[in-house]
A = this chain, B = another copy of it.
Amino acid sequence: MTITVVGSVAFDSITTPFGSIDRAIGGAATYFSVAASYFSPVQLVGTVGDDFGAEEMKIFEGRKIDTSGLVRIKGGKSFFWRGEYSYDMNVAHTKDTQLNVFADFKPVLPESFRKPRVLFLANIDPVLQLDVLEQCHRPELIALDTMNYWISSKKPDLEAVIRRCDLLIINEGEVRQYTGDPNLVKGGRQILELGPKTLVIKRGEYGVIMLTRDRIFAIPAYPLETVFDPTGAGDTFAGGFLGYLASTDKMSERDYRRSIIYGSVLASYNVESFSLDRLKGLTKGDIEKRYQEFRELTEFEAASE
């Protein structure tokens, strides 16, 4: 079943302790779409400049990604981000952000994009996220991402979107920032009271907690020996998570839990190299192998002797 995603398609220049790359393909909607397309058809809404040309568009080709909602602005330049990571890979240090065509982005969903099973509002201005909601028939699942910048600068608008979404994907630091409660479970429950049925809290190298009104699911991240570039890990996680979820019959609790693992699997591969270099070439076998490794990693009752 289809997912519609609205978010950034961009260029990133990244420096990590292991190397650097200039103007690589990036953007939340890019990572999300490629990851989700391993499981479900994706309809992508975003905007780029002339600089994102035929060569760059190859990242979406040969996949179940409909790019007819990606608007190219003649004479415009694509969103650009420059960031650095030190050895603590959990924190990105932003060196430059150029919104370019994204500054005037007013997402318009093609008619065929307005009835997805799942709608994912990637991290953009909550005012735009609200506008996208108005354009859609009520999807079965509305999922939302955001960031510290919108929590501090547009909290009332953000809260309006949160009240209308079913599922919020958020970093643990952002839960604390949003609620002012240092306790993650208490803070999470405060957010659930606004309306969402499910909160998925990302904890970087420590994994994910999923909170609903009456259940908690927690899973560590896959312990990697090579974390080369964490850029896009959160969006890749969201893509694998919602992509798999949208492919299930019932979206049951068990389906949600398995989806969290698939999201974690894709994110763990993504950080093994720059940009989407690893993510774009995964096979079904790669994905299933690491899914089984997650079982082996966390199993304590049925573990082999």
Which residues of chain A have a CB within 8 Å of any CB of chain B?
Answer: 87-89, 182-186, 189, 203, 205-207, 209, 215-220, 223-227, 250, 252-254, 257-258, 260-261, 295-301, 303-305
Measured in the bound complex, the distance between the Cα atoms of B218 and A206 in whole Å is 10
Known: A182-B87, A185-B224. A300 touches B260 (CB 8 A): yes
Given A206-B206, A218-B298, A253-B305, 4 new contacts (CB under 8 A): A87-B182, A185-B225, A218-B223, A258-B300
Are B220 and A207 closer than 8 Å at their CB atoms? yes
Are B257 and A300 closer than 8 Å at their CB atoms? yes
Measured in the bound complex, the distance between the Cα atoms of B299 and A295 in whole Å is 9
Number of copies: 2
Are B220 and A299 closer than 8 Å at their CB atoms? no
Are B217 and A209 closer than 8 Å at their CB atoms? no
Are B217 and A185 closer than 8 Å at their CB atoms? no
Which residues of B sit under 8 angstroms from A217, Cβ to Cβ?
Answer: 297-298, 300, 303
Which residues of B sit under 8 angstroms from A216, Cβ to Cβ?
Answer: 223, 297
Which residues of B sit under 8 angstroms from A182, Cβ to Cβ?
Answer: 87-89
Q: What are some 7 contacts across the A-B interface (CB < 8 A)? A: A207-B218, A216-B223, A217-B300, A250-B305, A254-B300, A257-B303, A295-B300
Which chain B residue has the least Cβ–Cβ distance from A184? Answer: B223
Which chain B residue has the least Cβ–Cβ distance from A204? Answer: B206
Q: Which residue of B89, B257, B297, B303 contacts A218 across the interface (Cβ within 8 Å)?
A: B297
Q: A239 → chain B, closest Cβ, in Å?
A: 18
Are B223 and A185 closer than 8 Å at their CB atoms? yes
Which residues of B sit under 8 angstroms from A185, Cβ to Cβ?
Answer: 223-225
Are A253 and B303 closer than 8 Å at their CB atoms? yes
Which chain B residue has the least Cβ–Cβ distance from A259? Answer: B300
Known: A258-B300, A300-B258, A301-B295. A220 touches B225 (CB 8 A): no
Q: Which residue of B223, B250, B252, B305 contacts A252 across the interface (Cβ within 8 Å)?
A: B305
Q: A280 → chain B, closest Cβ, in Å?
A: 24
Known: A88-B182, A184-B223, A209-B223. A253 touches B304 (CB 8 A): yes
Known: A206-B203, A257-B299. A183 touches B227 (CB 8 A): yes
Which residues of B sit under 8 angstroms from A298, Cβ to Cβ?
Answer: 217-219, 298, 300
Which chain B residue has the least Cβ–Cβ distance from A258? Answer: B300
Which residues of B sit under 8 angstroms from A219, Cβ to Cβ?
Answer: 220, 298, 300
Which residues of B sit under 8 angstroms from A189, Cβ to Cβ?
Answer: 225
Which residues of B sit under 8 angstroms from A295, Cβ to Cβ?
Answer: 300-301
Measured in the bound complex, the distance between the Cα atoms of B225 and A260 in whole Å is 23
Q: A169 → chain B, closest Cβ, in Å?
A: 17
Which residues of B sit under 8 angstroms from A303, Cβ to Cβ?
Answer: 217, 253-254, 257
Known: A260-B300, A300-B257, A303-B257. A220 touches B218 (CB 8 A): yes
Measured in the bound complex, the distance between the Cα atoms of B184 and A183 in whole Å is 25
Which residues of B sit under 8 angstroms from A87, Cβ to Cβ?
Answer: 182
Which residues of B sit under 8 angstroms from A184, Cβ to Cβ?
Answer: 205, 223
